[in-house]
Structure 1
């Protein structure tokens, strides 16, 4: 079958969503299906790639988001879909692309919405607060459920805001490239370059934007050093907060190394002692899973989906508990904590994720309210 996948907020240096789209597309192609990805760009284009055909439709950049673009020209997207005549449509943005559920239904195409973000969480961070947040999330989520044949969530945590509506979202975890991310990438020379003689190397790996709360990683470093832990923090990633964070580290005299976007993070992930994942609304956390596959445990926010992903290979904590969680992981023998991290990651191969997504595509049925029958 031909699976048309449509996504916003993807560019050359974006993170988890770009990785997921690439690996799912490769898996679909390997399984004998035709995968086509439609994304926004500066200009129109089309190319064949290992993940299938990628079609770029011109779309404007969103101010303040570091170059991310959106598909606002519905007519151009419709024209591409009419030309493709897909058997399935898979949508990866439930805010600006919800209209594609209606297009699919009008054209007899079975549809899937993949929920990569928590509306509850976003409204909690940036919305009106109080009961208005959940009320608004419920209204928007109900529209998504009604528009698509099924909704896919990657964790149980991400499912909750749909389950309270009486909907039946399907849970399919994402994966990690176990052959690519490995403890074998550990690099002694890189460690010396980043940490010098410091015995503890922490790593923050992710976009430096408000919803990721990267400042907590700096605060964790400051507290640990005040408590006598000789630690250095490497920060891999870029975003609108980078300049402010770098200035804050300098002002506080913290040994934080801002590396910008790191095209190949394998050495970093395998060399760090602990990865910090402070984002409070992560619905899966691919970078944390890549760290585990690299043999590095993670400290994650207890209010996010990450505790169910990292399992016993990491420690979940609130903002005030991050330093103690780091110390808890460091107290475990290095070989033991690294082996536990890799073992946890081995439960999430991309092959399993691809199989799960294809099972949903094969079993989607349009039912009242947009529920999924399998």
Structure 2
């Protein structure tokens, strides 16, 4: 890593806590599980980091990587800490003291942590140092682990305990949907964290409707997302298989890579399902979404659903599960929903396909336009400025 890390002296620490309102705001973003092909979390972290920099906030991003590195970017400093690979392309920082060294050098006025478990020691350090903390909640842990294990009752108690700890350890918890907020709202006992709902946005320029030539082929379905259990790609493929079994002419294009591709190809069998792998070019993803007739985003425990918004922004209606944050993004004019099983979702696809194409596509774009990154970014900038304002001490 370039440069020598040093700890600030006591005067620097006092300035961070008690400095005047004119002191610069310095936000440190921390995220584990960000890899080369990361999806929603990486988009959020990058969008917010760029927004902080544009707003005149000094920004530091700390992420895991194959080796130590430090880079000055157009959106602030990015520090990569050497970390072991844990799953696929994902790495995990396992030496929190190294993160603390970087933070002590940067002297942040607030921390934004996109991790509910592995970076908790950093939150405890911040509490001792008097640095306000923001937990950006990207997943509903109980639902996600239940989906992975198939045993919801076995994870309920430990997840409830974890959420209780989080609400006592952080100053602010940011959630993106009512569904994401629910797991925190019912946690009993005292808490120090305030709960703030901040819906995400969508890039309305990149993800936009395209001209569509007359088409008389099979119903074009698309699924965009990482091929890992928590994103429910198996349910999307099984829905296409069910439609094919019914004799409905369909084709499902699966956009994304991940550890379960072999399983999904076996599940698809002879059904018309095409796997395209990870597509890094966002414009190409938008093109494929825009040319589809219906997008399948069927994960029942999605806390928000950026893929849903991206499809809607392209004018493509969406079928989703009847639970989860993705359900909150669509209404009866731009999509359909059903219980998270292949038969029910296939019914939802057929219902949606029977509607007026022009009306549903117009409604899809209009719905997406209600979710702008500008609003999300402004809310988070204001939040960091608010929590770093010095407390007023009565005379």
TM-score computed with the length of structure 2 as normaliser: 0.85
Instruction: Output one character per residue of 1:32-53: Cα deviation in whole Å (capped at 9) or x when no partner.
Output: 2122211000011122334332
Which residues in structure 2 correspond to 1:17-96 (within 5 Å)? 17-62=41-86, 65-96=87-118
Secondary structure of the corresponding residue to residue 183 of structure 1: coil
Q: Which moved more, 1:260-269 or 1:115-124?
A: 115-124
Partner of 2:172: 150
CA contact (8 A) 2:142 2:152 kept: no
Classify the secondary structure of the residue corresponding to 2:72.
strand
- Look up the match of 1:370: none
Paired residues in the alignment total 355
Cross-structure match for 2:357: 334
Partner of 2:3: none
Q: Deviations over 1:189-209 (max 9, x none)?
A: xx99xxxx6331100111111
C-alpha deviation, 1:349, in angstroms: 0.5
Gaps of 5+ in 2: 1-24, 390-395
CA offsets 1:196-225 (integer angstroms, 9 cap, x no match): x63311001111111222121222112212
* Match for residue 110 of structure 1 among 129, 132, 135: 132
Structure 1's 246 and 131: CA in aligned 2 closer, same or farther, altered over 3 A? closer
Return 148-157 or 315-324, whichever deviates more.
315-324
Retained in 2: the 8 A contact 1:24–1:51? no
Moved more, 37-46 or 310-319: 310-319
How far 1:128 sits from its partner (Å)? Answer: 8.2
Cα offset for 1:310? 2.4
Q: Cα deviations across residues 244-276 of structure 1 (Å, max 9, x unaligned)?
A: 212332xx3111110000112111111111111
Q: CA deviation at 1:336?
A: 0.9
Kindly provide the CA deviation profile for residues 15-73 of structure 1, in whole angstroms up to 9, marking residues without a partner as x: 111111111111111222122211000011122334332211111110xx211011111
Write the mapping of 1:92-241 to structure 2, written as runs, cut at 5 A: 92-126=114-148, 129=151, 131-165=153-187, 168-184=194-210, 198-241=217-260
Task: Tell me, in whole angstroms, the C-alpha distance in 2 between the residues paired with 1:44 and 1:187.
Answer: 47
CA contact (8 A) 1:99 1:147 kept: no
Partner Cα distance (1:335, 1:49) in 2: 43
Please list every run of 5 or more consecutive structure 1 residues that lacks an aligned counterpart in the other structure: 367-374
Task: Provide the alpha-carbon RMSD of the alignment.
Answer: 2.0
- 1:107-145 CA-partner distances (Å, limit 9, x unpaired): 121110011111220232245846553222110001111
Q: What is the distance in 2 between the residues matched to 1:17 and 1:77?
A: 20
Distance in 2 of aligned mates of 1:307 and 1:247: 29
> Matches of 1:323 and 1:257 in 2, distance apart?
18
Matches of 1:133 and 1:271, distance apart in 2: 40
CA distance in 2, matches of 1:37, 1:316: 37
Give 1:276's match in structure 2, choosing from 284, 296, 318. 296
